[in-house]
């Protein structure tokens, strides 16, 4: 998969924030994703040493949502842990994994924020620009903004609002568990993003692309066969 060269990763904190401000104006908040053949998920797992990580991208066929390719990149994280700047810490390794793909996805779901970010430039938007591909942020927690209480029914959602702007949706994907937080990444609108997240859910809190990516990053998906290992746990709040 091709990766654009938008900027250097050798940036200090002030330069990283300035880069986010600049790139946020390039994010497309519109676009349709119709008849996709392949939908990917990306996630990253940080090791106990906190500076080593494993990034994973898993491509699923659609509509079967069956994994067809998994790529992993392992290495040292080159940027400190700073809320709001996590894409500078996680994107380089994630892009390395994506660059190894032989199957090009039509849509990518990212375990992280899109424009639901103080500078409207989270990991999903950052990756979308580098990959020039429609991306959706599907995070497990809020970074900024607030929303009303959701109904319990699957598919219920509430606007996430920050400084008077709707930046995403809290979306109920399964009964009895916390919602996920969906936002525009790049080249997609919010209602379409919600549609595809729900379309990719198969009874768990997380949609299948990011669920499989989480398993792969944690070493619980066998890349050669693209199947979950027997000891992989699907219980608890994460998967629901």
Domain ranges of the chain: 13-222
For the entire predicted model, the pTM comes to 0.92
**pLDDT digit string (tens) for 61-80?**
999 999 999 999 999 999 99
Per-residue pLDDT tens digits for 145-200: 999 999 999 999 999 999 999 999 999 999 999 999 999 999 999 999 999 999 99
- CATH number of this structure's domain 13-222: 3.30.2170.10
Give residue 117's Cα distance to chain centre: 13
CA distance 15 to 85: 11
> Residue 51 has what pLDDT?
79
Query: Pairing state of beta strands 180-186 and 135-139?
Result: antiparallel
Which of helix, strand or coil describes residue 75? Answer: strand
Rounded to 5 degrees, φ, ψ at 152 are -85, -20
């Amino acid at each position: 998969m091709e990766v654009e060269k938008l900027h250097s990763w050798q940036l200090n904190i002030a330069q990283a924030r300035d880069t986010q401000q600049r790139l946020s104006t390039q994010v497309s908040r519109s676009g349709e994703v119709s008849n996709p053949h392949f939908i990917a998920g990306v996630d990253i797992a940080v090791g106990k040493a906190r500076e080593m990580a494993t990034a994973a991208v898993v491509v699923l066929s659609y509509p079967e949502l069956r994994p067809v390719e998994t790529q992993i990149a392992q290495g040292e994280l080159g940027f400190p842990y700073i809320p709001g700047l996590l894409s500078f810490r996680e994107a380089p390794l994630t892009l390395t994994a994506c660059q190894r793909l032989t199957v090009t996805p039509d849509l990518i779901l990212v375990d992280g924020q899109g424009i639901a970010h103080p500078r409207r430039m989270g990991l999903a938007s950052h990756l979308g620009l580098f990959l020039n591909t429609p991306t959706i942020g599907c995070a497990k927690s809020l970074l900024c903004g607030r929303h009303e209480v959701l109904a319990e029914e699957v598919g219920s959602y509430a606007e996430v609002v920050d400084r008077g702007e709707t930046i995403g949706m809290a979306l109920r994907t399964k009964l009895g568990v916390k919602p996920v937080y969906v936002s525009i990444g790049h080249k997609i609108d919010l209602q379409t993003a919600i549609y595809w997240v729900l379309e990719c859910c198969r009874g768990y809190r997380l949609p299948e692309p990011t669920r499989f990516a989480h398993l792969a990053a944690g070493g619980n998906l066998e890349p050669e066969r693209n199947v979950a290992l027997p000891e992989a746990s699907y219980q608890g709040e994460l998967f629901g």
